[in-house]
C-alpha cells in the first residue's frame, strides 16, 4: 500500500525523486502508466523506454563538473528513480492482474531485470557521494529531509560496504525479488475449489446461491477466493462445509510456498547480517517509527494484553452459543468464529448482517465512497473510459480538484480467473510530481458484481475494505502534488502508512453518511437509521478477538524474521506463536496459513505486519478530533488533509501527526474503543 521502507531494498524503484524535466519527458509522463501496452512486444518497449531515459538521467548526474546543486544532481537522481519506478510498477500490475499468461511471464522477467538494476544502483558509491556533496544551504525543509533520508537509505542498503559485500547484496536482492514473485505466482495459480451439495449450502444468501448454479449432478462448486470464503464462513450452517472450505483456503499454494517463504527468510537474514544487523526484524525496523525490534515486540504485547479481557468475554459468548447447537462442545474451532459471531450478533443485538446487504450494491457503494471522499477532501471523480486498461472489467477514473485533473484511479475489484483474488490493496503505480506527472493508483479487491444481472450485494465488511483502500487512494493522490517525486504520496514511515486508510473506515458506521448512498437495490429506500444503530451496536462485539488476531499475525510476522540463524522452520514458528497469541483457537493440523500470508512476500511489510495495529492506534487518535455529530463537515477534514495527507513524506510522520493533533499520538483513544467506549469502526 505504501512505499517507504521498501526503499531500503528497492531504493531507486520507490524512493527516487523528480523535480524538473525537458518537454519530451513531460509528454512521455502525461500519458497514463498503461498507455501503449498491448502485447509482450509493447510491454518490453515501454520498459526499455523508461530504462533508456533512466540511463540518460544517470549519465547527467555523474557527468557533473564543479559544485553539486539541486538542479544538476538531485533533479536527475529524482528522475532516474521516477523512470525505474514507472517501469517496475507497470510490471507488477501486469504480472499480478493481466489475464494473458504470456504477458504475466514477460512482466516477471522484466521485473527481475529491473530488480537487479535497482539493487546495483542503490549500492553505487558515486551516486551516494554525489548526493552528499549537494549544497543544501538554500534548500527548503522538504528538500533537506529528502536528501537526508535518501542518504540514510543508501547507507542501510549497504553503499558504504566493501565491493565484495555490495556485489553479494546485489545478487541476494535479485534472488529475493525472484522468490517473492514465485510466492505470488503460486498464489495466483494455486486457488482451490471444493464441491458442495445443495443441503450443505443451507444458510447462504439467496443471491449467492443464485450465482452458484449446480451442475447436472447437483454439485455446487465453490472457490477459495475471498468472495466465496467470506460468505461461506459467515453463513453456512453446515460445520463440515465451513471446515472443508477453511482447510482448503489454508492450504492454497502449500506446500510450494512454504519452501519459497523459507528461502525468502534465509535471503533476508543474510542481507541483514551482511549489513551488520543481528536479524532482519532489527534491520527492517530501523527507518520506521518504532525504530527497533524490541519496541515492536513490546507494542504487540501491549495490544495483546489490552485486548485479552474483551477477547476472553467474547470467546465465552461464542462458546455458549455453539453449545446450543453442540451441547458437549468444549472449544471453538477456527471455522466456528465468524459463523457464531454472526449468530451472537443476531441474538444479542437483533442484527443479521444479511439484512444490510441489499443496501450495499457495488455500484452504490462505489458512488458512495467517491462522494464521501469528495465531501471530505475536496476532490471529484470522473469516469475515464478512454484510459487503457489490462482487462475490460477495470474501471478507470480521473480525479479532479477545482476542475483540474490531479490523478487517475483504476478499480480492478471483481474476481476473475488468473487474477489475485485474495485480499485487497492499492498499488501507487505512479507517484506524482507537480507540473510533470499526476499520481496514479490501482485498487484491487475481490467483491461481488461486475457481471450482468448481479447487483453485487456486499457485506458491511466488504464495504469497510473498499473504504479502507480508498483511504490509500486519497493519500496517494492528494499527497502526490509536491515538487519532489520521491517524497510524494504514501511515502511516510511504514508503520503509520495504514493510519489514513484505517481512519476512513469510521465513516461506514455513521448513519447520516450511509444514508447518502446506502439504498435498497430493489426499492431504492435509504438504509433505516435504526438498522444502522443495530449494526453499530453489534459491531462492538468482536473487537477483542479481532485485536488478538492482529496481534497473532503481527507476532508471526516478527517471529519469522527475528531469528539469528538463516534456516527457519516456518510451520514450527507459526505453531509456537499460536500457543500464546492464538491460544483460544486450536491449531488446525495439516494446514499452512503462512503459504497465503501475502504480507510476508511484500517488501513493504515482511517482519512488520504490526503496521496495521500501530496505524489503528494512530487512526483512533486522529479520529478523536472529528465531530461525530457531523462527520461530513469539511473544516476538520480539510485541516487533516492539509496537515497529514498533502505533505506526503516531506516531514517525519511524528511531525505530521503532531501538526494535526497538537501533540504526539497516544494509546488512550484505541484503548477506549477496545473497551466499547464511543462509536467507531470494529476492524
The more confident residue out of 628 and 23 is 628
Instruction: Choose one of 144, 161, 178: the last residue of a domain.
Output: 161
Residue 24 CB neighbours (<10 A): 9
Q: What is the pLDDT of residues 448-491, one digit of tens each?
A: 998 888 999 999 999 999 999 999 999 999 999 999 999 999 98
Residue 523 scores a pLDDT above 70: yes
- What is the pLDDT, as a whole number, of residue 114? 92
Please give the Cα distance from 602 to 609 (Å, whole number).
10
How many domains are there within the chain? 3
Cβ contact 220:196 at 8 Å:
yes
- What is the pLDDT, as a whole number, of residue 40? 98
Residue 2 scores a pLDDT above 90: no
Q: Are strands 395-401 and 404-412 parallel, antiparallel or unpaired?
A: antiparallel
H helical segments located in 158-292: 163-189, 206-210, 226-235, 239-250, 256-274, 280-285
SS3 558: helix
Q: Does 145 share its domain with 205?
A: no
Tell me the mean pLDDT in the region 427-439. 92
Tell me the mean pLDDT in the region 222-249. 94
Q: Does 245 share its domain with 310?
A: no
Residue 305 scores a pLDDT above 90: yes
Please state, for a pLDDT cut of 90, what percent of the chain lies above it.
Answer: 87
- What is the pLDDT, as a whole number, of residue 414? 95
Residue 671 in domain: no
Q: Does 217 share its domain with 307?
A: no
Residue 171 CB neighbours (<10 A): 14
Residue 273 in domain: no
Q: Does 25 share its domain with 107?
A: yes
Q: Does 142 share its domain with 48?
A: yes
Instruction: Scan for cell 498499488, then name that residue.
Output: 427
The more confident residue out of 25 and 533 is 533
The rounded Cα 167 to chain-centroid distance in angstroms is: 31
Pick the closest to residue 397 from 416, 418, 380, 377 (CA basis): 380
Q: Does 36 share its domain with 145?
A: yes
440 forms beta bridges with: 408, 430
Residues near 420 by beta carbon (within 8 Å), at least 6 away in sequence: 96, 97, 184, 187, 188, 444
What is the pTM assigned to this prediction?
0.89
Which of 55-59, 373-377, 389-393, 433-437 is the least confident region?
A: 433-437
Q: Does 136 share its domain with 205?
A: no
DSSP symbol at 458: P
Residue 316 CB neighbours (<10 A): 11
Cβ contact 30:96 at 8 Å:
no
Residues near 390 by beta carbon (within 8 Å), at least 6 away in sequence: 34, 37, 93, 94, 97, 98, 99, 103, 412
Q: Does 14 share its domain with 154?
A: yes
Q: What is the pLDDT of residues 14-61, one digit of tens each?
A: 333 222 333 333 333 478 999 999 999 999 999 999 999 999 999 999
Residue 666 in domain: no
Q: Does 200 share its domain with 243?
A: yes
Buried b (16+ CB within 10 A) or exposed e, 633-654: eeebbeebbebbbbbbbbbebe
Of the pLDDT bands very low, low, confident and very high (cuts 50, 70, 90), residue 189 is confident
193 forms beta bridges with: 223
Tell me the mean pLDDT in the region 217-241. 94
Instruction: Look at the chain and count its residues.
Output: 683
Q: Does 156 share its domain with 30?
A: yes
Please give the Cα distance from 363 to 411 (Å, whole number).
12
Residue 239 CB neighbours (<10 A): 15
Residue 47 in domain: yes
Instruction: Choose one of 161, 184, 204: the last residue of a domain.
Output: 161
Residue 662 in domain: no
Of the pLDDT bands very low, low, confident and very high (cuts 50, 70, 90), residue 115 is confident
Tell me the mean pLDDT in the region 372-376. 97
Please give the Cα distance from 234 to 355 (Å, whole number).
13
Residue 84 scores a pLDDT above 50: yes
CA dihedral over 248, 252, 255, 261, signed as positive or negative:
negative
Where in the sequence is the domain holding 24, given as residue range(s)? 6-161
Mean per-residue pLDDT over the chain, rounded: 92
**Best-predicted range by mean pLDDT among 29-38, 222-231, 425-434, 636-645?**
636-645
Tell me the mean pLDDT in the region 416-429. 84
Tell me the mean pLDDT in the region 103-113. 95
The more confident residue out of 9 and 303 is 303
Q: What is the pLDDT of residues 128-182, one digit of tens each?
A: 999 999 999 999 999 999 999 999 999 999 999 999 999 999 999 999 999 999 9
Residue 280 in domain: no
- What is the pLDDT, as a whole number, of residue 680? 41
The rounded Cα 676 to chain-centroid distance in angstroms is: 27
Residue 133 in domain: yes
Q: Does 12 share its domain with 149?
A: yes
Pick the closest to residue 648 from 10, 90, 18, 26 (CA basis): 18
CA distances from residue 557 to 54, 281, 448, 563, 599 in whole angstroms, order as listed: 35, 9, 30, 12, 8
Q: Does 142 share its domain with 67?
A: yes
Q: Which CATH number covers residue 50? A: 1.20.1050.40
Tell me the mean pLDDT in the region 578-595. 90
Of the pLDDT bands very low, low, confident and very high (cuts 50, 70, 90), residue 615 is very high
Residue 320 in domain: yes
Element (H, E) at 382: strand 380-383
- What is the pLDDT, as a whole number, of residue 294? 98
Of the pLDDT bands very low, low, confident and very high (cuts 50, 70, 90), residue 5 is very low
C-alpha cell at 493: 514511515
Of the pLDDT bands very low, low, confident and very high (cuts 50, 70, 90), residue 378 is very high
- What is the pLDDT, as a whole number, of residue 421? 64
- What is the pLDDT, as a whole number, of residue 333? 95
C-alpha cell at 379: 476532490
396 forms beta bridges with: 410
In terms of Cβ atoms closer than 10 Å to its own Cβ (0-12, 13-18, 19+), residue 21 is buried
Amino acid at each position: 500500500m505504501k512505499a517507504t521502507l521498501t526503499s531500503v531494498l528497492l531504493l531507486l524503484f520507490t524512493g527516487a525523486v523528480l523535480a524538473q524535466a525537458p518537454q519530451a519527458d513531460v509528454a512521455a509522463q502525461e500519458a497514463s502508466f498503461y498507455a501503449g501496452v498491448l502485447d509482450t512486444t509493447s510491454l518490453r518497449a515501454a520498459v526499455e523506454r523508461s530504462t533508456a531515459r533512466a540511463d540518460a538521467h544517470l549519465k547527467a548526474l555523474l557527468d557533473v563538473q564543479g559544485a553539486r546543486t539541486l538542479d544538476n544532481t538531485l533533479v536527475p537522481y529524482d528522475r532516474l528513480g521516477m523512470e525505474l519506478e514507472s517501469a517496475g510498477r507497470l510490471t507488477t500490475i501486469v504480472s499480478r492482474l493481466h489475464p494473458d499468461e504470456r504477458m504475466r511471464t514477460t512482466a516477471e522477467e522484466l521485473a527481475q531485470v529491473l530488480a537487479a538494476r535497482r539493487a546495483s544502483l542503490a549500492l553505487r558509491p558515486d551516486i551516494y557521494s554525489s548526493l552528499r556533496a549537494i549544497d543544501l544551504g538554500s534548500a527548503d525543509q522538504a528538500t533537506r529531509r529528502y536528501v537526508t533520508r535518501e542518504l540514510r537509505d543508501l547507507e542501510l542498503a549497504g553503499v558504504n560496504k566493501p565491493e565484495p559485500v555490495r556485489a553479494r547484496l546485489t545478487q541476494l536482492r535479485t534472488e529475493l525479488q525472484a522468490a517473492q514473485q514465485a510466492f505470488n505466482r503460486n498464489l495466483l495459480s494455486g486457488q482451490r475449489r471444493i464441491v458442495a451439495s445443495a443441503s450443505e449450502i443451507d444458510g447462504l444468501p439467496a443471491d449467492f446461491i443464485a450465482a452458484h448454479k449446480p451442475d447436472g449432478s447437483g454439485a455446487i462448486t465453490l472457490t477459495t477466493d475471498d468472495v466465496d470464503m467470506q460468505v461461506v464462513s459467515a453463513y453456512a450452517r453446515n460445520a463440515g462445509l465451513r471446515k472443508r472450505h477453511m482447510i482448503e483456503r489454508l492450504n492454497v499454494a502449500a506446500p510450494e510456498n512454504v519452501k519459497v517463504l523459507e528461502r525468502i527468510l534465509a535471503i533476508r537474514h543474510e542481507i541483514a547480517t551482511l549489513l551488520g544487523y543481528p536479524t532482519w526484524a532489527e534491520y527492517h525496523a530501523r527507518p520506521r517509527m518504532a525504530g527497533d525490534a524490541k519496541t515492536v515486540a513490546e507494542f504487540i504485547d501491549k495490544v495483546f494484553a489490552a485486548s485479552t479481557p474483551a477477547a476472553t468475554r467474547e470467546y465465552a459468548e461464542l462458546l455458549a452459543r455453539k453449545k446450543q447447537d453442540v451441547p458437549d462442545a468444549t472449544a471453538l474451532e477456527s471455522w466456528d468464529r465468524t459463523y457464531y459471531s454472526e449468530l451472537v450478533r443476531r441474538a444479542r443485538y437483533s442484527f443479521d448482517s444479511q439484512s444490510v446487504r441489499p443496501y450495499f450494491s457495488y455500484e452504490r457503494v462505489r458512488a458512495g465512497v467517491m462522494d464521501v471522499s469528495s465531501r471530505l477532501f475536496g476532490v471529484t471523480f470522473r469516469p475515464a473510459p478512454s484510459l487503457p486498461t489490462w482487462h475490460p472489467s477495470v474501471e478507470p477514473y480521473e480525479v479532479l480538484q477545482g476542475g483540474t485533473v490531479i490523478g487517475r484511479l483504476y478499480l480492478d475489484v471483481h474476481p476473475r480467473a488468473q487474477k489475485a483474488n485474495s485480499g485487497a490493496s492499492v498499488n501507487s503505480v505512479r507517484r506524482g510530481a507537480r507540473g510533470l506527472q499526476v499520481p496514479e493508483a490501482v485498487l484491487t479487491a475481490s467483491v461481488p458484481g461486475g457481471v450482468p444481472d448481479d447487483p453485487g450485494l456486499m457485506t458491511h465488511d466488504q464495504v469497510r475494505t473498499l473504504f479502507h483502500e480508498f483511504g490509500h487512494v486519497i493519500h496517494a493522490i492528494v499527497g502526490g502534488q509536491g515538487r519532489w517525486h520521491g517524497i510524494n504520496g504514501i511515502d511516510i514511515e511504514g508503520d503509520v502508512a495504514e493510519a489514513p486508510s484505517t481512519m476512513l473506515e469510521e465513516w461506514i458506521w455513521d448513519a447520516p453518511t450511509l444514508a447518502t448512498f446506502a439504498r435498497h437495490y430493489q426499492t431504492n429506500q435509504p438504509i433505516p437509521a435504526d438498522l444502522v444503530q443495530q449494526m453499530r451496536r453489534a459491531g462492538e462485539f468482536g473487537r477483542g478477538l479481532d485485536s488478538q488476531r492482529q496481534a497473532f499475525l503481527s507476532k508471526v510476522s516478527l517471529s519469522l524474521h527475528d531469528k539469528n540463524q538463516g534456516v527457519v522452520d516456518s510451520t514450527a514458528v507459526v505453531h509456537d506463536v499460536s500457543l500464546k497469541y492464538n491460544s483460544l483457537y486450536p491449531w488446525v493440523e495439516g494446514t499452512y496459513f503462512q503459504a497465503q500470508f501475502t504480507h510476508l512476500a511484500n517488501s513493504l511489510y515482511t517482519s512488520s505486519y504490526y503496521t496495521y495495529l500501530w496505524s489503528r492506534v494512530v487512526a483512533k487518535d486522529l479520529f478523536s478530533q472529528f465531530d461525530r455529530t457531523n462527520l461530513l463537515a469539511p473544516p476538520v477534514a480539510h485541516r487533516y488533509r492539509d496537515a497529514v495527507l498533502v505533505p506526503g513524506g516531506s516531514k517525519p510522520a511524528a511531525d505530521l501527526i503532531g501538526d494535526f493533533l497538537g501533540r504526539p499520538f497516544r494509546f488512550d483513544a484505541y484503548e477506549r474503543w477496545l473497551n466499547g467506549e464511543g462509536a467507531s469502526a470494529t476492524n
